[in-house]
Amino acid sequence: MQYVSIVFMLLFATSTFAQTTEDSRFKLSLQTDLLAYTTAGGWSAWASAQLDRYKLSVAYVNYPNRFRDIYEETGIKESPSWLRFQLSREFQSTSKLKNFFNGINVEHHWRELEEDNNSEEILIDTHWQFEGIAGHEWASWRKKENALQNISIIPWLGLNLIPAFTELSRVFENTGSIYEIQGLTRSTIGINIIGTTTLTSSWLGIRQRMIPWV
């Protein structure tokens, strides 16, 4: 609960102290994926920087007992965490797909495998995976003058690919139990809540003098 409280406090602070202007184009934001909290001890924290339509995000996700249905069948619990790097691009504001975006995730995963009645043996490994994503930013409060005007909600979908040379199946030596690979492709969903700070036009003027092509 401590991590959850910190994430939501930072998110609210970001939106409360935001400065907005018509011609600002550079945005900083904090996000969290609400679905990460659907398992005990799960949480996520994101930090993003956006210039015009392009956004770069870094996220940490902790998702214990992610595959609960597998645990119920085998007694083997997978507790993964991962570091995510996301590059996304919004569609043009004049497009019919305004507020939609697409992009890619590059993720470094590490996990612990635990088996019931075999507490002396915990398997730990790491792997990389890649993911194509698409989503929509819903910001109905943006035109209202209140503390929520810089809060938005982002539902998104992804299809991830684990490189074929990655071996995810594992065998517990003490019991001979096998944790089977769950497939090289998986679909994912997320529902992010985001608080955004838009930098002022005076800062952008300084940046444009320093970087003329922006």
Q: Tell me the domain boundaries of the chain.
A: 2-210
Check residue 208 and give its pLDDT.
47
From 41, 3, 24, 43, select the one nearest 192 (Cα to Cα). 43
Contacts of 213 (CB under 8 A, 6+ apart): none
Check residue 1 and give its pLDDT.
47
Burial of 169 (C-beta count, 10 Å sphere; 0-12/13-18/19+): exposed
Tell me the backbone φ, ψ of residue 60, rounded to 5 degrees: -120, 130
Q: What is the pTM of this model?
A: 0.76
- Which CATH code, of 3.10.20.740, 3.40.50.10860, 1.10.10.10, 2.40.160.20, is assigned to 2-210? 2.40.160.20
Check residue 2 and give its pLDDT.
44
Tens-digit pLDDT string for the chain (214 aa):
444 444 444 444 444 344 443 344 788 999 999 999 998 899 999 999 998 899 999 999 999 888 888 888 889 998 999 999 999 999 988 888 888 999 999 999 999 999 998 988 999 989 899 999 999 998 776 666 666 677 889 999 999 888 866 777 889 999 999 888 767 788 899 999 988 776 654 444 544 444 444 4
Check residue 13 and give its pLDDT.
41
CA distance 113 to 121: 9
CA distance 72 to 67: 9
